[in-house]
A and B are shown apart, each in its own frame.
Chain A
């Protein structure tokens, strides 16, 4: 078991070494990068916004229920919602959502190329298939996923605001006052650092599981599940580590 895990870790780092080599054609690399950014960003935007609005709404309602006390200042609701959404819920929950969405798409795409010998075809042409196929995905994820998280934060706060308007659990003015109170630039640095690392794990681990498939369609399904489980596990562990180090 431990030997297997160590072997897979070693294989992963060798895979990364193969991925991070100079692209054969810069023009082709940038064309693929733009395609990937479009597919990742535009393809995930709607689901990210919907989930973020719902999440912001629910967290506002639940927080309001917990702090119904005359001793607690009214702006606390906005402040707590903002802190929860910015620091933890959006970076982690939305990334886990993206693992299921983008991660499985990446594993399936690379895996089906492996199964149908398209990756072998690239290798025979003398093209580094890992670099050609995967480097644009990883670079694209490093830009797109933090952007999606920022958009998700914005929509989660909008969701909270709408909930306040509809349910009157707080006045809109006090809610916004809470949202804008005690804001630290460092929080944004923390969120962007965390999501960039998560984006790297999501894209590289999903690609790795797709790239190493041996066999047919059955293996593709297994690789997909393994990619999602392992990415999610690493992201949750790293979340703990990064939070302990940075906060």
Chain B
């Protein structure tokens, strides 16, 4: 379990995260939702250690991440997989090399073990036969799937996805959501997803933390997100004409 206790983050005088208290449960898809600029990405960067909070604690199974030694941080990072908003695949490498990269750098597996694992991961994300393609040759959805394959290559305990649906059509977004959900349960991963996609919220959000202007405004799950009486959450969830219409109909 990952817990955030009174986490605050400042950029100069501006406070981006304001005493956030929430937790992300093991083996579940945990969503962080909120409008653009609400602090979701900053929160995720704090979770994975790319930024450090000025106040508060981030606990991985009860241990404060910011008190870890460099060695301990390296060790826990080898248990993390991350899917970036823009996929962040290495341009100069083929898809096979991209997926193999963490295995090469973080494990001492033989070539045949690594290639077996790469092929397994590519098959799992439906990218069989794409081994020798370069990222520039893939569509947006394929890049996201390749990034997921790379993220799960080392059997991570924690999977972080920063807006995995951004820039994708609704159908491909659903496929990516399904894939993240299936992988989370298949490999018992603690998954944290940053999103503002309402489809993701109502389909895969086993826990949902709604961030509003840097504060945790609401916490719940996909079953009670549509029936909440929190005005700010409702403004966010029912912002689109389509969702407003569905609410009016029901």
Asked, given contacts A126-B73, A126-B78, whether A121 binds B105 with beta carbons under 8 Å apart, the answer is no
CB distance from B88 to the nearest CB of A (A): 4
Task: List 7 tightest A-B contacts by C-beta distance, closest first.
Answer: A126-B77, A117-B88, A121-B88, A126-B74, A124-B82, A117-B84, A118-B88
Q: Point out the residues of chain B lying under 8 angstroms from A124, CB to CB.
A: 48-50, 77, 80, 82, 160
Q: Point out the residues of chain A lying under 8 angstroms from B73, CB to CB.
A: 126
What are 12 pairs between A and B in contact, CB < 8 Å? A24-B105, A116-B86, A117-B84, A117-B86, A117-B88, A118-B91, A121-B88, A121-B90, A123-B50, A124-B82, A125-B78, A125-B101
Once the chains are docked, how many angstroms separate the CA of A125 from the CA of B84? 12
Q: Point out the residues of chain B lying under 8 angstroms from A184, CB to CB.
A: none
Does B85 belong to the interface (CB within 8 Å)? Answer: yes
**CB 8 Å contact bits of A100-136 with B (1 = contact, 0 = none):** 0000000000001100111011011111000000000
Q: Select from chain A the residue with minimum beta-carbon distance to B98.
A: A121
CB-CB contacts below 8 Å: B45-71 with A: 48-50
Does A3 belong to the interface (CB within 8 Å)? Answer: no
**CB 8 Å contact bits of B151-171 with A (1 = contact, 0 = none):** 000000000100000000000
Q: Select from chain B the residue with minimum beta-carbon distance to A120.
A: B50
A sample of 7 more A-B contacts (CB under 8 A), given A113-B90, A121-B84, A126-B75, is A116-B88, A118-B89, A120-B50, A124-B77, A125-B102, A125-B105, A126-B78
CB distance from B102 to the nearest CB of A (A): 5
Once the chains are docked, how many angstroms separate the CA of A30 from the CA of B216? 47
Q: Point out the residues of chain B lying under 8 angstroms from A168, CB to CB.
A: none
CB-CB contacts below 8 Å: B87-140 with A: 88-91, 101-102, 104-106
Q: Select from chain B the residue with minimum beta-carbon distance to A124.
A: B82
CB distance from A228 to the nearest CB of B (A): 23
Count of A-B contacts judged by CB separation below 8 Å: 53
CB distance from A213 to the nearest CB of B (A): 15
Number of interface residues of B (CB under 8 A): 24
Contacts from B to A (Cβ < 8 Å):
48-50, 73-78, 80, 82, 84-86, 88-91, 101-102, 104-106, 160
CB distance from A66 to the nearest CB of B (A): 50
CB distance from B226 to the nearest CB of A (A): 33
Checking B80, B84, B90 against A120 with a beta-carbon cut-off of 8 angstroms, the contacting residue is B84
CB distance from B110 to the nearest CB of A (A): 13
CB distance from B220 to the nearest CB of A (A): 28
Once the chains are docked, how many angstroms separate the CA of A120 from the CA of B160? 13
Does A68 belong to the interface (CB within 8 Å)? Answer: no
CB distance from B103 to the nearest CB of A (A): 11
Once the chains are docked, how many angstroms separate the CA of A24 from the CA of B90? 18
Checking A112, A117, A123, A127 against B105 with a beta-carbon cut-off of 8 angstroms, the contacting residue is A127
Query: Are A126 and B106 within 8 A (Cβ)?
Result: yes
Once the chains are docked, how many angstroms separate the CA of A28 from the CA of B82? 22
Q: Point out the residues of chain A lying under 8 angstroms from B78, CB to CB.
A: 125-126
Query: Are A121 and B104 within 8 A (Cβ)?
Result: no
CB distance from B200 to the nearest CB of A (A): 20
CB distance from A124 to the nearest CB of B (A): 4
Scoring B88, B89, B91 by chain A CB atoms within 10 A of each residue's CB, the highest score goes to B88
CB distance from A10 to the nearest CB of B (A): 18
CB-CB contacts below 8 Å: A21-35 with B: 24-25, 28
Scoring A24, A116, A126, A127 by chain B CB atoms within 10 A of each residue's CB, the highest score goes to A126
CB distance from A11 to the nearest CB of B (A): 17
Q: Point out the residues of chain B lying under 8 angstroms from A24, CB to CB.
A: 105
Once the chains are docked, how many angstroms separate the CA of A113 from the CA of B89? 10
Q: Select from chain A the residue with minimum beta-carbon distance to B102.
A: A125
Q: Point out the residues of chain B lying under 8 angstroms from A113, CB to CB.
A: 90-91
Once the chains are docked, how many angstroms separate the CA of A28 from the CA of B102? 12
Query: Are B77 and A117 within 8 A (Cβ)?
Result: no
Query: Are B82 and A121 within 8 A (Cβ)?
Result: yes
Q: Point out the residues of chain B lying under 8 angstroms from A28, CB to CB.
A: 104-105
Checking A25, A117, A118, A127 against B85 with a beta-carbon cut-off of 8 angstroms, the contacting residue is A117
Q: Select from chain A the residue with minimum beta-carbon distance to B108.
A: A25
Once the chains are docked, how many angstroms separate the CA of A25 from the CA of B101? 12
